[in-house]
Structure 1
């Protein structure tokens, strides 16, 4: 796949490389696939939506996110000073 006259916009496809380099850096040579990209976006959006749903569910039950001294977050049940 070595072009003698690379056209503008060919990028790395026109550079002579080894098969090992092409195998390790596959994303540099593969053409973008809109279907796979769309499925990935739907999956990421679903994960973010699920996390937001679960967070709102816990907050609705009376839990809140408390940050500890070491930076970790945990959900604690709200307590009243009157109890």
Structure 2
């Protein structure tokens, strides 16, 4: 999983989870996305790669509930 880095276009990108309300929020997310990692349609959430400088724009959209950096979950070693 890529949490951040440089995309194919040379852009500084970050992998984020975006919760949205309505088609306008989904469209706004897709419009700024470099690529879609996964879609969770039942929750209205997309995991996408976006240019780092577009994050604030997305967070300020009225139909975006949240934008959070995607992390990696794992089990603890005993």
Could you tell me the TM-score, scaled by structure 1's length? 0.23
Higher relative contact order (CA 8 A, sep 6+): 2
The structure in which a higher percent of residues are helix is 1
The structure in which a higher percent of residues are strand is 2
